[in-house]
Structure 1
Amino acid sequence: MTRILADLPDEDIRWLDARAAELGQSRASVLREAVSTYKAQAQPASGKDWLDQAFGIWKNRQDIGDSIDWQRRERASWTRPWDDDYEEVKAEFPDLFDEQDDRERAHYLAQSGRKPSAK
């Protein structure tokens, strides 16, 4: 292990000493832990390491059923009465919409002079 000499403001030293006393550790131990934590949180130069870590994170989820169906349903829940695909999405996921949505759709269509899509 290599020793280092670092200049820190007096206020930081007081905080460090208080933190070390609180944890029952030495000042050096707290500093080593802080550097270790900082190192673990630091992004690599490419900035894409988080993507590699997250890839496939949901592959073993059992609570959502089929992940593709879950994702389609989640996206469908974002559909609003003024969206062009409102009728198609409502036909596929009718439980996501209520009478208020239908009233807002009718109001939107009346205001815009459009007719419901017949796809």
Structure 2
Amino acid sequence: MKHFSDNGIPTKETPFEVAETSDVIVTMLPTSSNVLEVYTGQYGLLHGGNPLRPWLLIDASTINPQTSRRVSATISECFLREKRGHRDRPVMLDAPVSGGVLGAEAGNLTFMVLSYI
């Protein structure tokens, strides 16, 4: 993080601090437990409860569907700090990626997007 901040890129210490300054958040984490920690952990994106600033949360982790549904259900109970069009609740998109490291290196990743709305 020091490297980024030294180069003028804003950094934050916790996922919660990221949520406080972001309208859209994209996560791509290695395991279900990492996703739960980042979203619902002590300093997670949802730590502040209602209302939330981010109106769109996209998780591109390739994890079990039960975790994605659990996080989505938690997000669906939240309200937005500022209404977005006709929406007063944030949107969660489950967007796991296929292709692995080789696909990433070749620029050939495929996103599979699912909304639990």
TM range (shorter): under 0.3
Larger radius of gyration: 1
Higher relative contact order structure (alpha carbons within 8 Å, sequence separation ≥ 6):
2
Under a length normalisation based on structure 2, what TM-score does the superposition of the two structures give? 0.23
User: Relative to total residues, which structure has the larger helix share, 1 or 2?
Assistant: 1
- Structure with the larger strand share: 2
